[in-house]
Amino acid sequence: MAGVATVQSSRRVRKKERTRGEIYDAAMNLFARDGYESVTVDMICEAADVARSTFFIHYPAKAALIGEFSRRLSHDFVVGLEHAGRISAAEELVALVQEIGRRIEAQRQSMLAMIREFVLTPAAIEHTRDQERALPDLIEGIVRRGQKSGEFSSRIHPRLATAAILSIASAILSGWVFEDRDIAPGEILRQYLETIFQGLGGRIPRLQTNRKG
CATH number for position 106: 1.10.357.10
Using CA atoms, how far apart are residues 155 and 153, in angstroms rounded to an integer? 5
Domain count, the chain: 2
Last residue of a domain, one of 30, 58, 86: 58
Distance CA 34, CA 184 (A): 27
pLDDT score of 53? 97
pLDDT at 9: 65
Average pLDDT over residues 46-50: 97
pTM, to two decimals: 0.85
Q: Do 21 and 92 reside in the same domain of the chain?
A: no
Distance of alpha carbon 177 from alpha carbon 113, whole angstroms: 15
Is 180 in the same domain as 103? yes
Instruction: Report the b/e string of 47-70 with b at 16+ CB within 10 A.
Output: bbebeeeebeebbbbbbbbbbbbb
Same domain assignment for residues 134 and 156: yes
What pLDDT score does 11 carry? 81
- Same-domain check for residues 54 and 83: no
**Mean pLDDT for the chain overall:** 89
- Binned at pLDDT 50, 70 and 90, residue 54 comes out as very high
Q: Is residue 205 part of a domain?
A: no
- Cα(150)–Cα(63) distance, integer angstroms: 38
Domain end, chosen from 20, 38, 58, is at 58
Nearest to 173 by CA among 127, 107, 128: 107
pLDDT of residue 7: 52
Do 41 and 23 meet the contact criterion of CB atoms below 8 Å apart?
A: no
Question: pLDDT tens, 139-192?
Answer: 999 999 999 999 999 999 999 999 999 999 999 888 888 866 678 888 999 999
Calculate the dihedral angle through the C-alpha atoms of 139, 180, 41, 33, rounding to the nearest 10 degrees. -100
Considering the domain architecture, whether residues 89 and 168 belong to the same structural domain is answered as yes
Helix count and strand count (H, E) for the chain: 10, 0
Same domain? For 97 and 53 the reply is: no
**Residue 206: exposed, middle, or buried by beta-carbon count in 10 A (0-12, 13-18, 19+)?**
exposed
Confidence band (pLDDT; 50, 70, 90) for 209? Answer: low
160 and 176 share one domain? yes
Give the lowest-confidence range in 3-17, 27-41, 78-92, 121-135: 3-17
Give the integer Cα–Cα distance in Å for 62 and 117: 9
> Is there a single domain that holds both residue 14 and residue 75?
no
Domain that holds residue 159: 61-198
Question: Would you say residue 151 lies in a domain?
Answer: yes
202 pLDDT exceeds 80?
no
185 and 162 part of one domain: yes
Q: Which CATH number does the domain housing residue 29 bear?
A: 1.10.10.60
C-alpha radius of gyration, the chain, whole number: 20
Specify whether 22 is located in the same domain as 120: no
Q: 112 and 52, same structural domain?
A: no
| Same-domain check for residues 33 and 68 | no
Mean pLDDT of 130-146: 93
- For 63-115, the pLDDT digits (tens) are 999 999 999 999 999 999 888 777 899 999 999 999 999 999 999 999 999 99
Between 205 and 107, the more confident residue is 107
